[in-house]
Amino acid sequence: MKILRTPDDFFKNIKGYPYHPQYTVVKTHDNCDLRIHHIDEGPKDGPILLAMHGQPVWSYLYSRMIPHLVKAGIRVIAPDLAGYGKSDKPAAREDYSYQRQVDWMNQWLVQNDFTKITFFGQDWGGLIGLRMVADNGERFDRVAMGNTGLPYSPDVPDTVVEEIQTFRQGPTKLTMASMMKQVRQMDGFGGADPHAGIRKFAYWQKYTWDTIDVPAGVIASSMIEKRNKLAVALELLMGNLGLRRISPFGSAVTKAFEAPFPSPAFKMAVRAMPSHVPSIPDPSLEAQKQAWEFFSTFEKPFLCVGAGDDPVTNGFEKLFLSKVPGTQNQPHQMIGGGHFFQWKKAKELSQILSDFIHINL
């Protein structure tokens, strides 16, 4: 397996991320060394919050929350998934799968021997992290999740599966604007048409795979801060010309979320992972079934706290509230802030999570 590593220099001068890096080496399926990065902030004897990010971002997404959580006496462990942030980046599409991401992070968890953990995950951080909880239940005391899920889709009709696969492999050319127009029309994966969300989400899956240099920084900044439309257009133009890293039009947030990717070759996880979201039946089906069997008997405290205004994950909490015993009598709530609400609602989310931890100690 070819593995890329972002030089440290690319992370210099990132605003609001002064944290000392911690590294753990795990093994890939072909016995290669894969270095996983995490930060460890707060009192060493404090209750642990394992905070996991999604795609196409990295642990920098939690940088606004960490000071609030540490002030509340919480020890924050925030890793970068393989392919993101300061973690190593496998270079080929076939290197990535849902199961491999789970396997790598399970190794990371066991090697660091974290126990009595409160989990919080969003986006892919939830998809992977919830599987980690199911695989290592004895290490977790409570679970919180937001804007994420545990997709299990055994009953999608073959006609819909074929439609999605044909579209994703087809000749339609998507831009960031045309993709986002479709995704914004989502209302989660439920609704009157149970497959409408699958169809709209396929635009994200197709766009990320077909776009060799996915503008990760622009996508993240466009979702968490107000941007001048002209500046965004010019920044995208610079990226299309291969000049993304020297663009004068990017914000500090854009640059921080683009920092892990010195070139398009480093972005294979950003491109490949959306297609592994099991919105249609795929090789993760049996593992997802087993995870749901685990959570159907999970009686430890389980909190759903999300944005409620994120078109991709609206309504994510409903299935968990109906199936997970530990959700009973918990203060579930939606607080706004969009898909990456860790940034826009940092203080509010930090308070909710710290209260959840301290009340249930």
Q: Name the one residue in this structure whose structure tokens are 């663009």.
A: 247
Which residue among the candidates 37, 68, 276, 339 is catalytic per the annotation?
A: 339
In the sheet that 22-27 helps form, which strands lie side by side, from edge to edge?
22-27, 33-41, 75-79, 48-52, 117-122, 140-146, 302-306, 333-334
Catalytic: which of 80, 103, 123, 135? 123
Told to judge if 123 belongs to the known catalytic residues of this protein, a careful annotator would answer yes
Q: How far is CA 293 from CA 25, 91, 109, 227, 324, in A?
A: 31, 34, 22, 44, 10
Length of the chain: 361
Contact (Cβ atoms closer than 8 angstroms) between residue 207 and residue 176: yes
Residue 310: active-site member: yes
Tokens 């986002």 identify what position?
A: 180
Ramachandran angles phi, psi of 202, nearest 5°: -60, -25
Query: Residue 139: left if φ>0, alpha if ψ -120 to 50, beta else—which one?
Result: alpha
Please state, in angstroms and rounded to a whole number, the distance separating the CA atoms of residues 98 and 279.
Answer: 12
- The amino acid that residue 138 corresponds to is E
Would you please indicate which residues are annotated as catalytic (active-site) residues? 123, 310, 339
